[in-house]
């Protein structure tokens, strides 16, 4: 790969030219990395709902043409000026939120919200110079959350690239760069259920199932799955979920249903939908005195969360979790090791696989709610 360093690379990429229209496989040009940047050869992607959300562009500012993708794995092709911690050939996970290791958040043990590299969905250019590294026929193509992994080669800030164990299978651990860590960490790092406790998981997509996996690994005795799609219940059993509630099956608020099931409420709950109703239910279904609810899902910008103040005075706790409270460069290599040591399961999240040329099939699987994660093989 060293013979391409410093040169423009031509490769295939799935380009979103406009909102909601099928992605088009194009030959694009990828410029060399600049100061504090890394150029990566992307080998595998897993499609996340966030990619679909910004492709549809229904609730945010549209920015096209754009190369989406952020849950991925690959190998360092070349590095820019000032990059010393990575070298060509390193196996890596690009991450949508970075860790500069220098800001007040990165230096704090209590935060993973890097001031420099925190997720920015509106920015479509590189931090270094405000320009794109992608182009076609001389016209720029915008970046997405600092990763843009639906391209066989991409450029990211070094603070958003995590070096991992080269023995880790890249076609499996790619899901750790977003969804699995987001859900798993929300449970083990923030909710922190004790062994033998009860946990309710709201939303049984990939993030919710990862949250359930965290509860299972933590030794929870009851894991209750809550979802409006009953077809998800069977698959959730593989992640430790043993009881299920579909709010549509009841004529009372789901928090009341759960309170009756658990003699006053669950010990912990994790919300992974972005629905305000689910957020309120997740908070109000935890037991007074010690219950902790963790919000993970991202709501629409104009939504408001309302609950009675007595829910707080009765010693229920409400928390938020961003990327599972993991500092990407510091913590993610250890999460990969947990998988390698069989302390957590990852393979079961991947239910479909398609070549890059059929990436639109992955989007269709996601829109239909089929499967959990679809693997996109970038060299096919």
Token pair 């230096």 is found at: 107
Q: Among the options 39, 105, 118, 287, which is catalytic?
A: 118
From CA 328, how far away is CA 221, in angstroms rounded? 30
Q: Among the options 37, 39, 48, 147, which is catalytic?
A: 48
Contact by Cβ (8 Å): 292, 312: no
Q: Among the options 4, 36, 49, 377, which is catalytic?
A: 49
Contact by Cβ (8 Å): 329, 159: yes
CA neighbor of 209 nearest in space, from 346, 37, 379:
346
> Would residue 374 show up in a list of annotated catalytic residues for this protein?
no
Q: Among the options 77, 91, 100, 262, which is catalytic?
A: 100
Residues contacting 323, CB < 8 A, separation 6+: 95, 97, 112, 178, 181, 182, 185
Q: Among the options 39, 70, 91, 316, which is catalytic?
A: 70
Contact by Cβ (8 Å): 270, 208: yes
> Would residue 272 show up in a list of annotated catalytic residues for this protein?
no
Q: Among the options 178, 272, 285, 374, which is catalytic?
A: 178
Q: Among the options 114, 174, 272, 374, which is catalytic?
A: 114
DSSP letter string over 337-375? Answer: HHHHTTSS--GGGEEEEEEGGGHHHHHHHHHHT-SSEEE
> Would residue 97 show up in a list of annotated catalytic residues for this protein?
no
> Would residue 178 show up in a list of annotated catalytic residues for this protein?
yes
Instruction: Taking each helix axis as running N to C, give the angle between helix 49-56 and helix 359-368, from 0 to 180 degrees, rounded to the nearest 10.
Output: 100
From CA 340, how far away is CA 337, in angstroms rounded? 5
| Consecutive H or E run containing 75 | strand 72-79
CA neighbor of 121 nearest in space, from 196, 194, 27, 54:
54
Contact by Cβ (8 Å): 52, 69: no
Q: Among the options 71, 99, 213, 284, which is catalytic?
A: 71
Q: Among the options 103, 121, 358, 377, which is catalytic?
A: 103
> Would residue 377 show up in a list of annotated catalytic residues for this protein?
no
> Would residue 174 show up in a list of annotated catalytic residues for this protein?
no
92, two tokens: 């890596």
From CA 311, how far away is CA 305, in angstroms rounded? 13
257: left (phi over 0), alpha (psi -120 to 50) or beta: alpha
Q: Cα torsion for 315, 215, 306, 301, to the nearest 10°? A: 140
Contact by Cβ (8 Å): 324, 179: no
Q: Among the options 99, 106, 216, 273, which is catalytic?
A: 106
For 150-186, b where at least 16 C-beta lie within 10 A, e where not — what string? bbbbbbbbbbbbbbbeeebebbbbbbbbbbbbbbbbb
Name 154's bridge partners: 40
Q: Among the options 26, 50, 99, 133, which is catalytic?
A: 50
> Would residue 100 show up in a list of annotated catalytic residues for this protein?
yes
> Would residue 103 show up in a list of annotated catalytic residues for this protein?
yes
Active site residues: 48-50, 70-71, 100, 103, 106, 114, 118, 178, 373
């Amino acid at each position: 790969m060293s013979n391409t360093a410093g040169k423009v690379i031509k490769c295939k990429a799935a380009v979103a030219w406009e909102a909601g229209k099928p992605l088009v496989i194009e030959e694009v040009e990828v410029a060399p990395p600049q100061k504090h940047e890394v150029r990566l050869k992307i080998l595998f992607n897993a499609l996340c709902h966030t990619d679909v959300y910004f492709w549809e562009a229904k609730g945010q500012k549209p920015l096209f043409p754009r190369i989406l993708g952020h849950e991925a794995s690959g190998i360092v092709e070349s590095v820019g000026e000032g990059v010393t911690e990575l070298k060509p050939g390193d196996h890596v996970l690009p991450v949508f939120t970075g860790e500069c290791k220098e800001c007040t958040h990165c230096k704090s043990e209590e935060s993973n919200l890097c001031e420099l590299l925190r997720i920015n969905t509106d920015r479509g250019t590189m931090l270094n110079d405000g320009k794109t590294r992608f182009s076609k026929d001389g016209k720029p193509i915008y970046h997405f959350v600092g990763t843009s992994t639906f391209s066989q080669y991409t450029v990211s800030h070094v603070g958003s690239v995590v070096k991992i164990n080269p023995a880790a299978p890249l076609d499996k651990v790619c899901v750790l760069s977003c969804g699995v860590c987001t859900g798993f960490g929300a449970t083990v790092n923030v909710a922190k259920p004790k062994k033998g406790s009860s946990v309710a998981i709201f939303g049984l997509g990939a993030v919710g199932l990862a949250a359930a996996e965290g509860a299972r690994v933590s030794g929870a005795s009851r894991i209750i799955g809550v979802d409006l799609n009953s077809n998800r219940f069977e698959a959730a059993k593989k992640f430790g979920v043993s009881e299920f509630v579909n709010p549509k099956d009841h004529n009372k608020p789901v928090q009341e249903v759960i309170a009756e099931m658990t003699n006053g409420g669950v010990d912990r709950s994790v919300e992974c939908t972005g629905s305000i109703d689910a957020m309120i239910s997740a908070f109000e279904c935890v037991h007074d005195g010690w219950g902790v609810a963790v919000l993970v899902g991202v709501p629409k910008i104009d939504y408001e969360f309302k609950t009675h103040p007595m829910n707080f005075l009765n010693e229920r706790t409400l928390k938020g979790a961003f990327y599972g409270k993991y500092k990407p460069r510091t913590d993610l290599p250890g999460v990969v090791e947990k998988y390698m040591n069989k302390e957590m399961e990852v393979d079961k999240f991947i239910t479909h696989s398609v070549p890059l040329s059929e990436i639109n099939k992955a989007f269709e699987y996601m829109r239909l709610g089929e499967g959990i994660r679809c693997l996109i093989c970038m060299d096919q």
